[in-house]
Amino acid sequence: MSDQLARKVSAARLSIASNSALVVGKLVVGVLIGSVSVISEALHSGMDLIAACVALYAVRGAEERADTEHPFGHG
């Protein structure tokens, strides 16, 4: 794995970890205080978490080598 790819994957993993912590934290707080708005923010952060997972998948997929269908690579 190249250094540039390793940095991209590391950033994507950090994004997943931070978004996961936000979802859990907001959900716990929202349930404890009974706040629908905080729970809805947890759901919004969940959408960000999904986007971060897609970003990690895309970063990994973009580094695949060229093949017959993608003569210039997948990036």
pLDDT, tens digit, 9 for 90 and up, residues 6-23? 899 999 999 999 999 999
With H, G, I as helix, E, B as strand and everything else as coil, classify residue 74. Answer: coil
The pLDDT, as a whole number, for residue 70 is 66
Express each pLDDT in 31-66 by its tens digit: 999 999 999 999 999 999 999 999 999 998 877 776
In 1-75, alpha helices (H): 3-33, 36-62
Q: What is the distance between the alpha carbons of residues 13 and 52, in angstroms, rounded to a whole number? A: 8
The pLDDT, as a whole number, for residue 60 is 87
Q: What is the reported pTM?
A: 0.79
**CB crowding 19-46: b at 16 or more within 10 Å, else e:** beebbeebbeebeeeeeeebbebbeebb
